[in-house]
Structure 1
């Protein structure tokens, strides 16, 4: 798990501003993905991104 502080940059894997928590996961077939929960100025963002 990775926790990033709330910054005013668009550095989240979801393309959003603010802080986020990234949880790297792997399915039973070996495919990697990351579950992302982000927050910026009261707005919440949730998403899944492919991990290489």
Structure 2
């Protein structure tokens, strides 16, 4: 999932450089959502891994 976030961030940067505002905003918002989902899943896995020990 982190790989998809990086792909959408790069897509947003490239689209922003070339002036495609709508595409850049869309890709940036998708990247932001995926990053927060990844972050939540990471914290959950840390907590669940700690309790199994």
Structure 1 or 2, whichever has the larger Rg, is: 2
**TM-score (norm. length: structure 1):** 0.23
Q: Which has the higher contact order (CA 8 A, sep 6+)?
A: 2
Give the TM-score normalised by the residue count of structure 2: 0.23
Larger strand proportion, structure 1 or 2?
1
